Structures are given as structure tokens and as C-alpha cells.
Amino acid sequence: MPYTEKQIAKTKDRLWNLRKDKGISLAQLSELLEKKGVIISHTNLKNYEIDDELHALYHRTKTMSLEYFVALADIYDVSVDYLLGRSDTKKAQYRQISDELRLDDEAIDLLKAVIDEDKQMVQYGQRIKIFNDLLLDPDMLSALCLLREACNAHELYRESSDEETIDQRFHDKRLEVYETYLLKYGLKAVDSAVIRDLFVSQALALIDRVIRQFPERFVEDYHKRIAEK
């Protein structure tokens, strides 16, 4: 599989961000690499982070050796595939889960933490059952769909709040015609911010209903286990 231009751009962005997150300079990174037996000058390290496509050394990243990628991945505690832009998960052991479910590392860490905590609970399996119920409940799915629409409405609200957009709409006579047409039939244009708040309110109502049902489910499960004994 070729190392695409999109992946090259991801590599550069990730090398820069990982170094900044670690709080080290190019010179310090060069020293850390040297301790691992890999010699890369701070100048070359800078070239690998160049994000200007018109720069003469932009494609220097494409010629990086596997040894360099492995050493950098080791220092930053990420997978080589993450540095290559072939995966969006930093941890190698999470790649399959991330690729299939499109979950971030933080989301996978959270799920693993829930599983670990569940093993320590007196009623083992209860926390996992809550997660299963949340994921499978039709009302929760509907709530997620409503929240998605709320995000879309909010984006429209932000666009419509832009000064340039407002100015364009003010001078757009077609909107006046449309509004007159709507009012003629007793209809009114609804602001996208109102739609957003409505979606959020409906989603929270559904989530609240699901949560209220949990105690009843736990009681039913308890009686079922007693009967089985």
C-alpha cells in the first residue's frame, strides 16, 4: 500500500503534536533518540515536521527509514501505524477495535476501566449489563439520533450567526418572499437555535426514561436469579 499524500500530512501533524504534548524541543528529541542508538539531527527532525507542501524538503518525511519511525513511536509511546497515518489509534493493541468501531483511544480506555471496575463489584456483571442495556435500548438510539440532529442544527445556527452571512441574508430579497409565503399559510420560520434546543430536550427526556427503568430491570434480574437457584 503506498504512503499517500494524506498520510504524509498526518505524519507531519502527529510528529509535531506529539512532540509538543511531550514538551520537548527538537534538540531534546534528538538527544533522546541518540540514547536509543538512533542518530537523527534536530535539523532533520525539523524537516520531517515541515507542513508547507511547497517547501523543497516537504517530502523528506517520505524517505524516513523504518528505524526512525520505530524509534519515534517508542519515544512517544504510540504505534508505528499511528505515525504513518494508517490508523487513528495511538495504541497498537487497540487498532483492530478502533478500525472496526471507530472509537478513540480514550473511549476504549474508558470501556476497559468500566470492565475492570465491574470485576471488583459485589454484584459482578451489573455495570456491564448497564452498558449493554444503554447500547441496545431503542430509546437510547433515538436519543443519540436527536443529539446528532441537535449538533447539525447548532452548526446551522453558527453559520447563520456569522456577520457575513447575516449581511448576505439582509440583502437577499428572496428570503422576504419566502417568509411572506410561509406567513400566508400560517407557518413561521423557526430559528435553528430553537430546533437545537428542542432536539436536546427530547433526547434528555428519552435518556431519563431509560435510566428510570434500570431499577425495575435490576429487581427483575434479582428475582430471576433467585428462581434459578
Dihedral Cα 27, 30, 32, 34, nearest 10 deg: -140
Give the residue ranges of the chain where pLDDT is below 50.
165-167, 169-171
Distance from C-alpha of 108 to C-alpha of 114, rounded to nearest angstrom: 10
Dihedral Cα 100, 106, 108, 109, nearest 10 deg: 160
What integer pLDDT is reported at residue 227 of this predicted model? 73
What integer pLDDT is reported at residue 43 of this predicted model? 93
CA 12 → CA 8, 49, 103, distances in Å?
Answer: 6, 5, 22
Q: So what's the architecture of 5-86 in CATH?
A: Orthogonal Bundle (1.10)
What integer pLDDT is reported at residue 15 of this predicted model? 95
517547501: which residue's cell?
55
What integer pLDDT is reported at residue 22 of this predicted model? 93
Q: What is the distance, to the nearest Å, from the Cα of residue 217 to the centroid of all Cα atoms in its chain?
A: 32
Burial of 69 (0-12, 13-18, 19+ CB in 10 A): middle
| CA proximity to 135, closest of 107, 109, 116 | 107
Residue 177 backbone dihedrals phi, psi, to 5 degrees: -65, -45
What integer pLDDT is reported at residue 212 of this predicted model? 84
* Cβ count near 195 (within 10 Å): 17
Helix axes 26-35, 42-49, angle to 10 degrees: 120
Contacts of 41 (CB under 8 A, 6+ apart): 30
What integer pLDDT is reported at residue 41 of this predicted model? 94
Distance from C-alpha of 51 to C-alpha of 11, rounded to nearest angstrom: 10
Distance from C-alpha of 90 to C-alpha of 21, rounded to nearest angstrom: 14
What integer pLDDT is reported at residue 170 of this predicted model? 45
Distance from C-alpha of 175 to C-alpha of 193, rounded to nearest angstrom: 18
Distance from C-alpha of 144 to C-alpha of 141, rounded to nearest angstrom: 5
- Domain boundaries, given as residue ranges, for the chain: 5-86, 94-120, 123-228
